[in-house]
Each structure stands twice: as C-alpha cells, then as structure tokens.
Structure 1
Amino acid sequence: MSNLLEIDAIHASYSETIKALSGVSIRVRDGEIVALLGSNGAGKSTTLKAVSNLLPAERGQVKSGSIVFDGRDVQRHSPAELVRAGLVQVLEGRHCFKSLSVEENLVSGALGRGSGRADIARDLDHVYATFPRLRDKRHTSAGLISGGEQQMTAIGRALMSRPRLLVLDEPSMGLAPMVIQDIFRALKKLNRDNGLSLLVAEQNSTVALQFADVATVIENGRTVLSGPAAELRDRADIKAFYLGESGSFSTDRPAA
C-alpha cells in the first residue's frame, strides 16, 4: 500500500516568530484512516492547515521539512489546486453558509470541479445515503439545523468535491456522543466501501482510536508517538494524558 500523504519533519511558525511546529511527521497510506491526537494547543490544527497549504492565509509558513500529497509538493500548489487534486479539508467549527439551504451548501462543494447536473445529482444521492438526516433537511437553511447536522453538511460538501484524502479537524467538537458515533460510523463506511483515505485530528482520543487504523500523537508541536490504533488504545500513558493525570508521553517504544 503506497503513501498518499507524507509529512516529513515539518517546522512551522506564525508571523515569522511564533513557533507552532517543531518536527511533525505523519504518513497516510492509500485507503487508511489516520488519527492525529494531541491536547488543545499541541499543533493539530496547524498541521492540518499546513497539509492543505492554508497557513499563508493566517500569516503562517512551513519553515522546513516537506509535505507531499500523491507526488505533489503541497507548498507549490494553491489550496484550490489541492482540492481539485483530491485533498479536501473540513475545517474546525462546522463551517456552513448559514443563509443557504443544506442542499445549496452541498452543491457548492461540486462547483470547483466543473461538474454537470447529472454528476451533481449522483453525488447528492451519495451524500444523502451517507447522512440520511440531510435529505430530510435539504431545503432548510443551514443556520437553522442542529450542530450535528451542520457538521454532516460540512463533511457532505467536502464529499461533493470527490476527495481521495479527506482531512478533518476536530469533527466531534461540541457534539453529543450519539451524533459523534453516527458521523464516525459514516466515515468508516466511506473508507471501507469507497477506499476513501482520512486524516482526522481529534482531542477525543477514545472515538478516534476506535475508528482509526493508525494514530500519531503530537505534543508541543512535535511527533512523540505513532503506531497501530489498536495498540495505542491500550497504552496507559495515553489514557493518563487525556485524563489529565500526566503531561507527557512515554517514548520508550520507538515511533513507527
């Protein structure tokens, strides 16, 4: 199985002075779900913005290291070009066009790839099959639906771009446990049935490790641990960290 995304020892900063990342390395193989774990402020969002080349919009820059998606040097391509190549990100915060209907939000995700009506209709059916609740709300303003439905809409809009790699930043944030399970089960089904690769940044380690194949842990802007999610689920130091009983991870085992 080949690497679809390779992040190699990236260092990043904001405004040339604020160091955000100091050595993050991640691999996402084709058809794999990778969870990026870490506490608030560990550097998860900065890493994902670097992956989609969104840092310059926030006066940020990758200072060293490399990010390669499907053979492309990410830093040499605009975010729009990366989306057309199949790297699509869902930002933290359930971003929707709240004055538009759910279906109008979804259709907006297909506009950048120049799809015809027939293709858009097929993709809409696919999104509605993935998130049935959206079909019932398709004519409702996105500002009037629940937080969980807004997150489904944001993910559905990304799916309309036909991603090869879907990058999600804290998709569980602020949602009820049952809604979180519904969303992650849908993502797992897309991975299993369609071969969609996913990179998911999560502070909720329990749900992330339940659905991921591989997990990478970052702390203070650097990778401290990587390995199969099934093995990391049983590690006491990870449980302790997320329960607030410890401030650092044991690195006795080598990172993968």
Structure 2
Amino acid sequence: MSDETILLDINSVHAVYNKTIKALNGVSFQLRRGEILALLGSNGTGKTTALKAISNLLPAERGQVTSGTIRFEGRDVLSEKPANLVRSGLVQVLEGRHCFKSLSVEENLISGGLGRSSSRREIAADLERIYAIFPRLKEKRRTASGLTSGGEQQMTAIGRALMSRPRLLVLDEPSMGLAPLVIKDIFRSLKALNRDDGLSILVAEQNSTVALRYADHATVIENGVAVLSGSAAELRSRDDIKAFYLGEGAAFAHDRPAA
C-alpha cells in the first residue's frame, strides 16, 4: 500500500479524560482514499473518543491525546483547530442528530456551506445536490428542523456536512434510534456518494450488521485498542467474530469513556 493511498492514518493513539480516565490505549488503523471504513465495538470501547480525536474535538470535553499521531492527508490533526480541519475537508457528523432546531431544514443546510465560505452560486448548486440525495429534505425545506422526524434530522445533519464538500466524512452512530427502513435509506445514500463521487467515509456504528453490509473494511475496537481489522466481507462471514466482538447485531448504546 503506497503512502498516496492513505487518507487518514491513526498510529498508536492514547487518550484520556480529566487527565486520569483512560479511553484509548494505542489505537491504530488506516483509511484509504475512496473507501468506507466501519469502526465497530460494543458500548464503552472508545469508538466515539477515537472519532473526536480525529477531529481534534477532545479538548472541548476535558479530553486529550497523550501520545501517538493522527494524520489527515499527511497533516498533523492534533496541531490544527477543528474549524481548519473542516475547511481542509475533514467533516464530522456527531452522534445525536445535531441540528439547529429553530432553523428550517434549508437554513441548517446553508449553514454548512457558509462554514467553508461558499458563494451563493455554490450554495445553490450544493443545495440541489443534497435534495437529490435526500428528496425528503426538499419536501421539508421550509419546516423547522425541530419539527421533523428523527430520520429527517439525521439526513439534515449529514446534508449540512456534505455542504462543506468533505473529502472525508466522519459519522458517529448514524443509525441510532432510527427505524430500519430509514437506516437502509441513509446507508444506501452514503454508499452511492462513495461509489459515484469517491467520497471517503469513516463510520462508527452500533449496528454492526448494516455497517458491515455497506463498508469496504472494518476495525474492531475493544478496551480502547484496535484488536481486529479486515475486509467487511471477511468479518461478516465469521460467526465467532460477530458473536464475540459485535454482539450479533445488538443495538449498542452510546459509548462513554472506557474506565
């Protein structure tokens, strides 16, 4: 694998909360350009911490990376401000369907374009693209986001991230609390973006069954350590891995810092 194929490189990352609570213990994995990588593991294993470290968001939650390196397109993530990482193409959708609930769906989407200083023409073009990906958002474009369904709020959060024109889209538990058909629609849309536009995607997902269906590769985290990596097809076919590491399709709760 040549260096040019690596978009994101996490090498032996250790992280703590409040200077004492260990959350990551030497996590390492790589994401190649143009692939979907699923980050899997049960509750409290460190998946969310890993994603926040990648976007350099841990300091805002009294967390810090104590050793190791994280590089996005060769640049040191830990020396960059989160806003600069977004402008450089690393865009995260946090767990919990974060929207500005008093703003309309379209206003939420536009805020994503403003974050990268898009022109009016670029914003208009990007809006039409998002509405083509998520037709339901076009129907609800004038509705306050707080009055839309959970699935529509998740689509809005993803759409707002796409308005920033990411090269790497990072998603934390996008299926949480959503109906199976909505989950399928969202993952099909993500797969289409990956296939047609070459968008690289990193997704931490409680629903291992759907994640392994749409991902190219997967990494399993246990006790803050990446214990297993391989093709999604390989992990999907191994009953021992599904039962021991992935809980056989169990819906994991939101992971908290591992003690």
TM-score band, normalised by shorter chain: over 0.9
Give the whole-Å Cα distance in 2 for the aligned partners of 1:186 and 1:25: 28
Unaligned regions of 5+ residues in structure 2, if any?
A: 250-259
In the alignment, is residue 194 of structure 1 matched against residue 179 of structure 2? no
Counterpart residue type for residue 64 of structure 1? S
* TM-score, with structure 2 as normaliser: 0.93
Unaligned regions of 5+ residues in structure 1, if any?
A: 246-256
Q: Which has the higher contact order (CA 8 A, sep 6+)?
A: 2
Counterpart residue type for residue 57 of structure 2? L
Q: Give the structure 2 partner of residue 162 of structure 1.
A: 165
Number of aligned residue pairs: give it.
Answer: 245
Q: Secondary structure at the match of 1:39?
A: coil
**Where do 1:1-256 residues align within 5 Å?**
2-241=5-244, 242-243=246-247
Partners of 2:91 and 2:161 within 8 A in 1: yes
Give the whole-Å Cα distance in 1 for the aligned partners of 2:89 and 2:179: 30
Counterpart residue type for residue 88 of structure 1? V
Give the whole-Å Cα distance in 2 for the aligned partners of 1:18 and 1:147: 32
Give the whole-Å Cα distance in 2 for the aligned partners of 1:237 and 1:202: 19
Q: Secondary structure at the match of 2:142?
A: coil
Counterpart residue type for residue 142 of structure 1? S
Q: Secondary structure at the match of 2:227?
A: strand
Counterpart residue type for residue 197 of structure 1? S
Q: CA RMSD in A?
A: 1.1
Overall identity of the aligned pairs, in %: 73
Deviation of residue 239 (structure 1)? 2.0
Dislocated runs of 4+, deviation >4 Å = none
Give the whole-Å Cα distance in 2 for the aligned partners of 1:21 and 1:148: 31
Give the whole-Å Cα distance in 2 for the aligned partners of 1:212 and 1:243: 18
Deviation of residue 236 (structure 1)? 1.6
Give the whole-Å Cα distance in 1 for the aligned partners of 2:220 and 2:12: 14
Q: Secondary structure at the match of 2:51?
A: helix
Deviation of residue 244 (structure 1)? 6.9
Give the whole-Å Cα distance in 2 for the aligned partners of 1:104 and 1:92: 20
